[in-house]
């Protein structure tokens, strides 16, 4: 599938002079009394608002690189955040374990900007992932006994390629994503173990 760039972005790319701003958005699922949460981050020094969402600064340390192997295992991308406690109630990464974060959608967007005006021209790329795993490693203690805390989040593409590792239930939504928006072959996935359904052509 090909996607056309915004003419303003295309003009910057053709000129060979543009700045990049990488944004990451999490749509975390609720857990118990904790409601769902949408939060965004970027690696700049101050909050940045784009499309109605304010992206928080500095916590996103590394955009990560893709890793994969031969076989059915999905390609992964690992991103790293600082994990020091924060008083900002909007900073969901600081308390990500209070959410149902597994399989939550994540969108990484690359914006192109004009280097002369610092104005955003539009989207260069935008990729959807799902959270596969999260780890919370502790660094070595410094001279004061303090340890650095980080969170490493593994992202995988959504759909069929992730089901082998996350064991999520196949659903009509997954089937529509993987195949066709009007695909109804999994319409009875929740009842086919207990209710007999006829498939294919009838014999007469």
Domain positions in the chain are 7-159, 169-204
SS (H, E, C) 111-176: EEECCCCCCEEEEEEEEEEEEEEEECCEEEECCCCCEEEEEEEEEECCCHHHHHHHCCCCCHHHHH
Per-chain mean pLDDT for the chain:
75
Q: Which residue has the tokens 């909050």?
A: 47
Report the range out of 7-16, 107-116, 189-198 with the highest average pLDDT. 107-116
93-97, 98-102, 112-116: least confident range: 112-116
pLDDT at 161: 47
Query: Does the pLDDT at position 182 exceed 80?
Result: no
In 3D space, the residue among 1, 3, 15, 2 whose CA is nearest the CA of residue 112 turns out to be 15
Q: What pTM was computed for the model? A: 0.69
- b/e for 74-113, b at 16 or more Cβ within 10 A? bebbbbbbebeeeeeeebbbbebeebebeebebebbebbb
Query: Does the pLDDT at position 65 exceed 70?
Result: no
Q: What average pLDDT score do residues 144-173 get?
A: 66
Residue 187: pLDDT band by 50, 70, 90 thresholds?
A: low
pLDDT at 69: 47
Give Dmax over CA atoms of the chain in angstroms. 82
pLDDT at 122: 78
Residue 174: pLDDT band by 50, 70, 90 thresholds?
A: low
Task: Please answer whether residues 29 and 99 qualify as being in contact, where contact means their C-beta atoms are separated by less than 8 angstroms.
Answer: yes
């Amino acid at each position: 599938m090909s996607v056309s760039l915004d003419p303003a972005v295309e003009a910057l790319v053709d000129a060979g002079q543009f700045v990049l701003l990488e944004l990451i958005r999490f749509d975390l699922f609720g857990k118990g009394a904790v409601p769902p949460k949408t939060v965004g981050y970027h690696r700049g020094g101050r909050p940045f608002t784009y499309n109605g969402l304010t992206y928080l600064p500095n916590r996103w340390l590394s955009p990560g690189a893709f890793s994969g192997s031969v076989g059915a295992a999905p390609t992964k991308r690992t991103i790293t955040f600082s994990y020091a406690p924060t008083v900002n109630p909007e900073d969901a990464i600081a308390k990500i374990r209070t959410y149902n974060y597994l399989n939550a959608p994540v969108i990484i967007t690359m914006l192109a900007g004009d280097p002369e005006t610092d104005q955003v021209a539009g989207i260069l790329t935008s990729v959807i992932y799902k959270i596969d795993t999260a780890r919370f490693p502790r660094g070595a203690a410094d001279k004061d006994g303090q340890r650095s805390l980080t969170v490493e989040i593994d992202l995988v593409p959504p759909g069929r390629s992730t089901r082998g590792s996350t064991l999520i239930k196949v659903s009509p939504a997954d089937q529509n994503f993987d195949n066709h928006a009007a695909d109804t072959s999994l319409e009875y996935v929740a009842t086919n173990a207990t209710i007999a359904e006829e498939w294919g052509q009838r014999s007469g």
